[in-house]
Amino acid sequence: MNNVEKALKRKLNDDSEMAYPDFDEMWNRMEQTGHTAPTLTDTSDSFTPHRHRNWRKIAIAASLSALLVAVPVYAAIHYNWGDLLHGRSGIQTALNQGLGQQLEQSVTRDGVKLTLHTAIVDENRTVILYSLEVGKRADNEFWNVKGVSLKSAAGESSAGEYNFQQWDPKNQRHNGYFESDWTPQQETENVRLTVDHMELTSVQELELPLDITSPRMQTFKLDRNGLQDMKVQVFQQGKDKLMLSSAITFDSSIPKRWDNPQIVAYKGGEPVMSRPGGAFGKPGDNGEYTAQQYFSKADIPEGQTAFKLQYAQTEKSIHEPINFDLQLSKKKMESGTMKSVLNTPLENGNPNFMLEQMIVTPTQIRVTIRSEEKFAMLPYQKYFLSVNGTTLAGSRWSSSDQEHDLNTIRFERPSNLVITKDTPITFTGKYKVTTHSDDKTPQRLTDISEQKQTLTTQIGGYPVNWTYYKQGSDLFVETESEDAHFGGINQTHIGLGKERIIGKPITANFAGDGNNKAVDVYKNFKGKEASIYMFYYTTDDPEAETSVPLQPLTSNSEASK
């Protein structure tokens, strides 16, 4: 045993240095909430709502995760988002086949009634459909359930929990679903579904007198709900797009009562859809909430467009956790479920990405891809499954926190699609993106000034324009290519070794988004000249594709079930 082990062992067991909490008080808390009663093979009693709960809120860092969730749920007022199960058609398929498990359990808190209706449980996921009846509400008000989790008796809960809901004007209630990657280990399992709290939010808007023709940084005072001010800078993206890069500073001493801030544009009073590719919630240097949003220039003509900052404001929370004890079963699904081990490379002769497994259930088909390296980017942007002539489009899901080398492609299963072991299935990847990190030639930026200057270089055979200029004390470097096959430069740095300064990208630079313009800023840049390098660039080949037959089974794959 070496010294590190000894030191570690001594430290971890040294009671004298440990500041223990007041365990008696903890016991009292648990006793008051009825958790210490001798138990129990029957858990149904914990169902009864305890009236005088002195709940110290169990700290679940849900608020943190909310930061990066940029799903504009609130846009539901303005746009028609289609049916609740849009994008989850496999759930509808299962419901149509009567494969759902009826739950019909309700709990009412402060006049808000939460009802779990149906569970759909299979080898891939668990989905629970619910509704919220909330009584009277204003048009800009929305109730939501927060911190929903599933926990099995052994204390295991799931990764990838997600809930989505929308207002159902016909029935005057919110309909929603909760989706989790958790599935029962055995055919049937007892689980507890916990809703940490329920929250009422309202959509708020503030006028933003934004000048989209100005390239300068524009600052707006907000002074509401702890939001202090907002800085917005407008960048040209190619010929017909604009990027709005924004940063909101907020007063962290005031409890956060806002969420999902974003810029919305109104043309003639009608909301304008922003272009896809926006990114929200990345913390800035000083903890700001930053966002990048894209608009088509044609959609927001100067003088006819009004800009507003829209955000959700928390009006009220019901902080009394709700527990439902459920017995979930995947039995009904079993006859339609198949698992096959694939072990086939995604691309012929390339062992870096291996198709690992296919799981077919009545609601979904999942194909997993394991990469040689962790956090590796899948080489293709779009994935399809051809099942006996029917083509399904897949969506990419990055792996759970546990397995950074695993990617899953999910295909929702439409109705009337029969799949047996003999059904021909082909997996196809399209739109290849390749990363190149071998070009370490610097570009020389000379005579750096407020004046925009452009130099054109060849990178990987593509012409790339480097435009650089100073605004105040900051140096901006924009890179862009007219050739759409150039995917963009991810990030730049000036100088090498210890002296190097790393540029801060203000564009989101997603790979494979058909946008190769990137902007880096160097704050407080001093000097007239610089040698600038890139970390890597990508090239896009929208036409490239790879096809892998998954069924009927070939010699190097085998069925496990």
Binding residues for other proteins, per CB under 8 A? 1-15, 17-21, 23, 26-27, 29-30, 35-41, 43, 46, 56, 58-62, 64-65, 67-68, 153-157, 159, 282, 375, 398, 400-402, 490-491, 502, 504-505, 535
Q: What is the enclosing helix (H) or strand (E) of 62?
A: helix 62-66
Sequence-ordered list of residues with C-beta below 8 angstroms from that of 249, at least 6 positions apart, any chain: 228, 229, 230, 286, 287, 288
Distance CA 318, CA 197 (A): 6
Residue 128: CB minimum distance to other proteins, A? 19
β-bridge mates for residue 367, sequence order: 358, 409
179, 328, 339 from 185: Cα distances, Å: 17, 11, 15
Asked if 314 and 257 count as a contact pair (C-beta separation under 8 A), the reply is yes
238, 419, 457, 516 from 461: Cα distances, Å: 20, 46, 9, 15
Residue 438: CB minimum distance to other proteins, A? 16
Residue 118: CB minimum distance to other proteins, A? 26
Q: Which is nearer to other proteins, 90 or 379 (CB)?
A: 379
Q: Which is nearer to other proteins, 104 or 401 (CB)?
A: 401
Distance CA 97, CA 74 (A): 32
76 backbone dihedrals φ, ψ, rounded to 5°: -55, -25
Residue 286: CB minimum distance to other proteins, A? 12
Q: Which is nearer to other proteins, 76 or 501 (CB)?
A: 501
Peptide bond into 552 cis (omega under 30): yes
Distance CA 17, CA 11 (A): 9
Residue 365: CB minimum distance to other proteins, A? 25
Q: Which is nearer to other proteins, 42 or 447 (CB)?
A: 42
Sequence-ordered list of residues with C-beta below 8 angstroms from that of 339, at least 6 positions apart, any chain: 123, 357, 358, 359, 360, 559, 560, 561
Residue 341: CB minimum distance to other proteins, A? 18
Measured torsion, CA atoms of residues 263, 264, 268, 273, in degrees rounded to the nearest 10: 130
Q: Which is nearer to other proteins, 123 or 196 (CB)?
A: 196
Q: Which is nearer to other proteins, 7 or 138 (CB)?
A: 7
Residue 11: CB minimum distance to other proteins, A? 4
Distance CA 172, CA 166 (A): 11
Q: Which is nearer to other proteins, 189 or 412 (CB)?
A: 189
Q: Which is nearer to other proteins, 138 or 159 (CB)?
A: 159
Asked if 394 and 383 count as a contact pair (C-beta separation under 8 A), the reply is yes
Residue 453: CB minimum distance to other proteins, A? 25
